[in-house]
């Protein structure tokens, strides 16, 4: 204990065995209250300044900040208090609890399952408490003594616990890094939607690869021992996952050349809809029926694809209409144009148009040509709306819509007599 703190505690009346633990308990509570007040004041400002970090932690920024401040101040108090005193054990327990709650909030903010969070928090509590009360060596020796021999290697409970903790920590760091990088890229003003998506995919791959090599180094795995095996395994996996890697490369190429982007309206075979997401393996296309088609990226590279919004989102819709030969041709065309102009989804520029296309067998053929800018909302409903309005206008003005008719002539001559 430092001389200043020793002199201050010696001034307190009463039995030190009772007073010092009460002081330590009051100090722990005071530190927690101060940390809560500081976190309540600082968390909104940190959330505004570091918006990507605040969103990545999914609403847990304030409790994380509270327990981090409490743990930092509590660690200072533990360092100043003498080891072996019961009051020191109280401060150590408070420090262990703060660090455990800090780990719980960080892991839960990253959507780590509770089954993985609770053991990590309990392990951290035991480690910090044992370390603050005289050292972690006895606990480590106890865990290291429980194990079994597998050939030339010994697998211990300490090694398994350490491996699990490292894996969970790396998984949490990868998820946190992906969230922060993803949200930072989303807010970048110099990139369009496709470039942002490509940057997010590449950043995610870099983060996962970096985490893999860091994990190998922390776990002490010797990759040279698996050189021959990994070569054979890599060859087998290469043949087995050929399509998977082909789809991965095809997805990156699609994002780089920007031929297909999220939000585009495409037609691939019998699938028509708008691109919802370009994934590692497949492109998600949502149809007008609400069905989501997952089309492999490689198919979009090798098959013919209609992209209705590749360079321009405006799409022209052709609506065929036929009228009777005895109808007023000019009036009917004016009514067709009026029905198209009154439809809410039809664009005013380019203007709708009416073409006379052919003199049919029993009607005069026309095409109503209209333009829309939201093909992802469907084409059939535009045709239905225009034809519905046109039906009412034709009935109001006496324009007839003919239907096929056939005239059958029956011969009246008597049948010739039989020989």
pLDDT digits (tens, 9 = 90+) for 240-266: 566 777 777 777 777 777 778 777 888
Segment 348-366, tens digit of pLDDT:
888 999 999 998 888 899 9
| Gap between the Cα atoms of 372 and 314, Å rounded | 6
CB 262 within 8 A of CB 275: yes
DSSP state of 376: G
Q: Which residues of 243-262 are buried (b: 16+ CB within 10 A; e: fewer)?
A: eeebbbebbbebbeeebbbb
Sorted by where each begins, the domain ranges of the chain are: 14-135, 315-397
Architecture of the domain whose range is 315-397:
2-Layer Sandwich (3.30)
- The whole-number pLDDT of residue 387 equals 92
Q: Given a cut of 80, is residue 325 above it in pLDDT?
A: yes
Confidence category of residue 154, pLDDT binned at 50, 70, 90: low
Angle made by CA atoms 48, 49, 54, in degrees to the nearest 5: 65
Percent of the chain with pLDDT over 70: 73
- Kind and range of the H or E element at 358? strand 353-359
Q: How does pLDDT run across 375-404, given as a tens digit for each residue?
A: 777 788 889 999 999 999 998 888 888 877
| Average pLDDT across the chain, whole number | 75
Would you state the pLDDT for residue 4?
44
């Amino acid at each position: 204990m430092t001389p200043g703190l020793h002199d201050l505690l010696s001034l307190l009346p009463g039995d030190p065995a009772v007073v010092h633990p009460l002081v330590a308990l009051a100090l722990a509570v005071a530190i927690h209250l101060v940390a809560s007040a500081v976190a309540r004041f600082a968390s909104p400002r940190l959330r505004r300044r570091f918006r990507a970090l605040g969103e990545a932690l999914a609403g847990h920024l304030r409790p994380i900040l509270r327990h981090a401040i409490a743990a930092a101040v509590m660690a200072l108090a533990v360092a100043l208090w003498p080891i072996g005193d019961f009051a020191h054990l109280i401060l150590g327990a408070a420090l262990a609890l703060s660090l455990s709650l800090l780990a719980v909030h960080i892991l839960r903010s990253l959507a780590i399952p509770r089954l993985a969070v609770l053991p990590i928090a309990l392990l951290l509590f035991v480690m910090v408490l044992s370390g603050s009360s005289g050292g972690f060596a006895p606990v480590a020796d106890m865990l290291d003594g429980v194990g079994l021999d597998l050939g030339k290697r010994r697998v211990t409970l300490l090694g398994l616990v350490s491996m699990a903790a490292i894996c969970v920590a790396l998984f949490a760091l990868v998820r946190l890094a992906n969230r922060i990088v993803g949200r930072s890229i989303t807010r970048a003003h110099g990139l369009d939607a496709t470039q942002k998506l490509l940057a997010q995919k590449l950043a995610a791959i870099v983060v996962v690869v970096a985490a893999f090599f860091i994990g190998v180094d922390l776990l002490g795995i010797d990759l040279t021992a698996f050189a021959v095996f990994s070569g054979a395994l890599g060859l087998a996996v290469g043949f087995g996952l050929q399509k998977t890697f082909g789809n991965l490369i095809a997805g990156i190429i699609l994002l780089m050349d920007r031929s297909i982007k999220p939000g585009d309206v495409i037609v691939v075979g019998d699938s028509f809809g708008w691109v919802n997401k370009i994934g590692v393996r497949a492109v998600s296309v949502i149809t007008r029926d609400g069905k989501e088609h997952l089309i492999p990226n490689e198919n979009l590279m090798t098959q013919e694809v209609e992209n209705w919004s590749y360079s321009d989102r405006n799409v022209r819709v052709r609506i065929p209409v036929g009228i009777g030969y005895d109808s007023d041709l000019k009036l009917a065309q004016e009514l067709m144009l009026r029905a198209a102009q009154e439809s809410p989804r039809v664009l005013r520029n380019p203007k709708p148009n009416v073409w006379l296309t052919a003199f049919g067998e029993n009607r005069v053929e026309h095409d109503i040509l209209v333009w829309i800018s939201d093909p992802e909302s469907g084409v059939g409903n535009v045709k239905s709306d225009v034809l519905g309005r046109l039906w009412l206008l034709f009935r109001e003005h006496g324009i007839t819509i003919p239907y096929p008719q056939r005239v059958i002539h029956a011969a009246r001559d008597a049948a010739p007599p039989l020989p």
